[in-house]
Structure 1
Amino acid sequence: MIVGTAGHIDHGKTTLVKALTGVDTDRLPQEKARGISIELGYAFLDLPAPPGAAPGEAPPRIGFIDVPGHERLVHTMLAGATGIDHALLLVAADDGVMPQTREHLAVLSLLGLAQGTVVLTKADRADAARLEAVRGEVAQLLAPTPLAAAPVLAVSATTGDGLPALRTRLAEAAAAARRAADPQALFRLAIDRVFSLDGIGTVVTGTVHAGAVEVGDELCLVPGDAGTVVRVRSLHAQNRPVTRAAAGQRCALNLAGLARERIARGQWLVAPGAAVATGRIDVQLRLWHAEPRALRSGTPVRVHLGAESVEASVAVLDGEAIAPGASARVQLVLRQPVGAWIGDRVVLRDASASRTLAGGVVIDPGAPARYRRTPQRLAELEALAEPDAAAGEAALVAAAPHGVDLARLARLRGRWRDPAAPAWALGDAQSAALREKVLATLRDFHARAPDEAGPEAMRLRRLAAPRLPEPLWREQLAGWLATGLLGRSGGFVQLPDHGSRLSALDQRIADKVRPILARGVADGVWARDLARDTQEPEALMRTTLARLAQRGELHQVVRDLCYDEATLRGLARLARGVAEAHGGEVTAAGFRDATGLGRKRAIQILEYFDRIGLLRRVGDVHRLRRDTALFGEDEA
């Protein structure tokens, strides 16, 4: 269990921790000189071995995070408070409730911390009446907070009175807080200290928020350089050397592969499968009840998440403002990326960092910049906020119009996921609607371009479902093709009856035409010339050529100008080569020079490539579409 101290400056936090553990957490010279805590301090308390413990087994140990009480150091207090299991709220019996008592309580409450103990310190300086009066102050202060039921113990660190009772209380709380290991949770540690040791190298410390880590594991720094991986050389958990550390422990990691200068407080060390950095976070936020004004969209704030603090602005998603004591969904637009995961706690302070405003829970760390207030988006947020992950995933799939990236969702939750499991999911209603939209789009396409085989697969996506993610589109299309709902001719998708079987007459003419087209004339062959060379009626030739085009056996670049598949594929290869050499762009002059064709024919072919989805006309140039496999090696 991790215990965090909280309370006004000079109310005895460091003195109490020393009385409990024997460790003076004020380690800096300036802390000694001034008699106050400036940085986070750490200490540990061994508990009696539980019944049934193995001989020689290390006793359970409580970790203490001692935070500064000065009003200017609340940001440091927040870095330590995130991730604690139990709060020790200290109130000096001679002073009573003071300003930082209130702010630290606000921080603990807005972090959702419901487990804690109130300690009336310096009890030797107050008589019974004074202690009772301070108890009343504290009860009134705690009443509207999650710590309302916290026991209140009077303690004197100087005389030792009350310390045994406090140790017993903490031991009982530690036993109750013992969490079961979650095998699906990926490792995440919020870094709050970084230093180097001679002969050891870079060391980081922090609270393990989730998962477990072992010596030799590879981890990612978030936010950090993409792909940078560090290896865990050695571990300390709860101030003891170990080979494995887990959630709920203070942990120090000796890292190989990363210099101390490249790490800072506020970053995270995470398992590679949980690496997430974001600049927008959707949060369920509650404004502190004692705040005098509503929180409105556009308000600049400081966001505290993990051990990080970053400037941001607020966009209220439920209305335009949040009243004191009320809760609403907001989007936090951050000035710089942070690591964040679904379910993490956040605290907001005002832009000048003078007071604590609000706190809440991360709903979606991958929040969108657009469509963030639509009914559809709010329904998705409601599903993401569902406490049961499985139920939330099912609700999200049912609500999301363009499917759910399940692998990304697992990453945002910081959860392990079987790589062999389906990567995407689309709701039944959405799948049916998509199928009907695709069929209608193809019917319309065939009606407008009866002589073409159909649109290329990615062009069909742009026409029917432009916002559907490409992996999900490919998955759905493969299913439709496999069941025969759709047909395919080369790289073109069509309705099954569009490229119908040829009649005997059509087949006879086709057998004459194919060898002529196969000569690969780059200028193409006109229908009238094919009719003359095969001695077939021109009208009948045009009808047969149209059916061959519908089947994808030839291409009509303009009406009656025909190319076989191999010839057009070669011209497409030349167009791709020109594009690759000129930043993705093809001009008529460049294509003319590459093919040796005349300018008119070059333009006709480029316009055909625009029409079928290989290129896209932008002004006077044609840009290669990067999302198409048409005439490519992986076209199938």
Structure 2
Amino acid sequence: PATGIFRLPVDRVFTIKGFGTVVTGSVISGRLKVGEAVMVYPALYKARVRSLQTHNRSVEEIVAGSRAAVNLQGLEKEELERGMVVATPGSLIPSRRLDAFLEVLPSAPRPLKHRQAVRFHTGTSERLAVPLLLEGDDLPPGGSGYVQFLLRDRVAVKPGDRFVIRNLSPAVTWGGGRILHVDPLRHKRRDPATLAVLKTLEQGTPEEQILSYLREAGAAGRSRGELAAMLPFDPQDLANRLNALVQKGQALLFDPENQRYVLSATARALEEDIRSQLQTYHRQNPLKPGLSKEELRRKLPEGLEVRLFNDLLQGLVQQKHIVLDKDLVRLAGHKIQLATDQEDLTRKLADLYRQGRLSPPTLKEVEAALKVPLAKLQPLLRVLVDQGTLVKVKEDLYFAGEALARLKGELIDFLKKNGEISVIQFKDLTGTSRKFTIPLLEYFDTTRVTVRVGEARRLREGG
């Protein structure tokens, strides 16, 4: 058809003095104008159309069905060969693996064997190939079935393209068929799920084929451009069908900017997976408030797009299934579960630090006062920090949250009146030793309350 992507399988390459490199072939789809950019597959060479001819006549445009010569600017004759395809940039996927439906001719000399080397012809290309028979060990004359071809060299084709296979020697034709998938995964032989997918690609409706490709992509999803290269549809037709699937709730457009889609069922399964991962995490870590977003994403299927992951989290927040607290994610009903003895210890810990005010105890002093090993106290310290009862100023140094809040207010008042504060003035303000004043000053720098200027601190703008 004259609509859709432009494709011209190359059958000849030559040069014309004063013009440069010329390729010839029959246009099998789309249209091309002088000055347009093209890509030569499977090598992925970029070029621009300098001039066009059809039937020895210069023209401004060529369309599907015409025999044409294309003068390419930017490529040398030695870079090109018969079997390459001149096409719309980004429209094809170079591949050495193809799924196909193969029919063996009744006149074939004998059954085609699994992994029997053949010559694979499609368009103007010829490749050595090995057929992996997916339904049995051979295909008899007159038989047919699903096959995955492994090619020695890449080709650039579209689903629906026809192919022929021939014996290596003598060059007897075994049969031919239709390409179904241009970038498939490796398959298990005799796998019912694989055969069902291939049957959909062979016989299914356009919508069923689109959904099949989205299902295969899983959490990574596919862009409209990727789908266009994998399906035999006009790009506008594909866009309309994708929009219809989104409207029906069967597909989800999670990245409008890059036109990336995922199967709606996949998105729902990912939501369930997120909730399940959080349930497991809370059960195994009852004293932790939640799981970091990045750690949660690593527990989900490989290839999950960050954009989709964030959309799923926001959706679960709106449904009140989860809570996002800065970088932490937790189930909506999750509360830190302390045993009775832990609750008692936590109260005693908090009291020790409240009493210490701006001269808090060291961890060794806490350990000695409560007669509890540090290993048992560390998780409870994290709980108190998460609750805001304590603030971790630096490694192994904690302050009561209330005491720090009061000090922050006093420090801001001092700076507003005096402009800056020295270490000695801060020591006088806090009434504590240098052992604590320096870490406290650095803490207020880090939390963007103050900024260090020489040996003094000033109120940070907006602090």
TM-score range, shorter chain: 0.5 to 0.7
Q: Give unpaired runs (5+ residues) of structure 1.
A: 1-178, 518-524, 565-636
Amino acid paired to 1:424: Y
Query: Normalization by structure 1: what TM-score?
Result: 0.50
Instruction: Judge conservation of contact 2:136–2:190 (CA < 8 Å) in 1.
Output: no
Q: 1:291 matched to which residue of 2?
A: 108
1:329 aligns with 2:146: yes
Aligned-pair distance for 1:222? 0.8
* Per-residue Cα deviation, 1:175-231 (whole angstroms, up to 9, x for no partner): xxxx5x42xx21111011100001111101111122111111111111115xx4100
Q: Secondary structure at the match of 1:272?
A: coil
1:220 aligns with 2:57: no
Q: In structure 2, how many angstroms separate the alpha carbons of the residues matched to 1:474 and 1:312?
A: 43
Change in CA separation of 1:232 and 1:297 when aligned onto 2, cut-off 3 Å: same
Q: 1:258 matched to which residue of 2?
A: 75
* Per-residue Cα deviation, 1:540-576 (whole angstroms, up to 9, x for no partner): 985362264599x989x9xx96899xxxxxxxxxxxx
Change in CA separation of 1:477 and 1:319 when aligned onto 2, cut-off 3 Å: farther
1:244 aligns with 2:61: yes
Change in CA separation of 1:272 and 1:482 when aligned onto 2, cut-off 3 Å: farther
Change in CA separation of 1:530 and 1:215 when aligned onto 2, cut-off 3 Å: farther
**Mapping for residues 73-472 of structure 1, pairs under 5 Å:** 181-182=2-3, 185-225=4-44, 228-352=45-169, 354-371=171-188, 374-386=191-203, 388-394=205-211, 396-397=213-214, 402=219, 404-407=221-224, 408-413=226-231, 415-416=234-235, 420=257, 422-428=259-265, 430-466=266-302, 472=308
Instruction: Judge conservation of contact 1:527–1:542 (CA < 8 Å) in 2.
Output: no
* Per-residue Cα deviation, 1:390-413 (whole angstroms, up to 9, x for no partner): 342145546776575243221223
Q: Secondary structure at the match of 1:441?
A: helix
Change in CA separation of 1:526 and 1:231 when aligned onto 2, cut-off 3 Å: farther
Instruction: Judge conservation of contact 1:283–1:330 (CA < 8 Å) in 2.
Output: yes
Amino acid paired to 2:146: R
Amino acid paired to 2:271: R
Instruction: Judge conservation of contact 1:348–1:356 (CA < 8 Å) in 2.
Output: yes
Aligned-pair distance for 1:304? 0.6
Aligned-pair distance for 1:323? 2.0
Aligned-pair distance for 1:283? 0.4
* Per-residue Cα deviation, 1:379-398 (whole angstroms, up to 9, x for no partner): 33233224642342145546
Aligned-pair distance for 1:239? 3.6
Amino acid paired to 1:545: R
Change in CA separation of 1:546 and 1:371 when aligned onto 2, cut-off 3 Å: farther
Instruction: Judge conservation of contact 2:158–2:231 (CA < 8 Å) in 1.
Output: yes
Instruction: Judge conservation of contact 2:350–2:384 (CA < 8 Å) in 1.
Output: no
Amino acid paired to 2:165: L
For these two proteins, the number of residue pairs brought into alignment is: 364
* Per-residue Cα deviation, 1:50-84 (whole angstroms, up to 9, x for no partner): xxxxxxxxxxxxxxxxxxxxxxxxxxxxxxxxxxx
Between the aligned residues of both structures, percent identity stands at: 29
Q: In structure 2, how many angstroms separate the alpha carbons of the residues matched to 1:293 and 1:188?
A: 36
Aligned-pair distance for 1:438? 2.5
Q: Secondary structure at the match of 2:98?
A: strand
Instruction: Judge conservation of contact 2:26–2:67 (CA < 8 Å) in 1.
Output: yes
Q: In structure 1, how many angstroms separate the alpha carbons of the residues matched to 2:26 and 2:366?
A: 79
Instruction: Judge conservation of contact 1:191–1:266 (CA < 8 Å) in 2.
Output: yes
Q: 1:545 matched to which residue of 2?
A: 382
Change in CA separation of 1:554 and 1:291 when aligned onto 2, cut-off 3 Å: farther
Amino acid paired to 1:209: I
Amino acid paired to 1:463: K
Aligned-pair distance for 1:480? 3.1
Q: 1:28 matched to which residue of 2?
A: none
Change in CA separation of 1:386 and 1:328 when aligned onto 2, cut-off 3 Å: same
Q: Secondary structure at the match of 2:299?
A: helix
Q: Secondary structure at the match of 1:465?
A: coil
Change in CA separation of 1:437 and 1:532 when aligned onto 2, cut-off 3 Å: same
Aligned-pair distance for 1:475? 4.7
Query: Normalization by structure 2: what TM-score?
Result: 0.67
Change in CA separation of 1:482 and 1:372 when aligned onto 2, cut-off 3 Å: farther
Q: In structure 2, how many angstroms separate the alpha carbons of the residues matched to 1:460 and 1:340?
A: 39
* Per-residue Cα deviation, 1:494-545 (whole angstroms, up to 9, x for no partner): 32333679x9x99x959x79xx99xxxxxxx986667899xxxx98985362
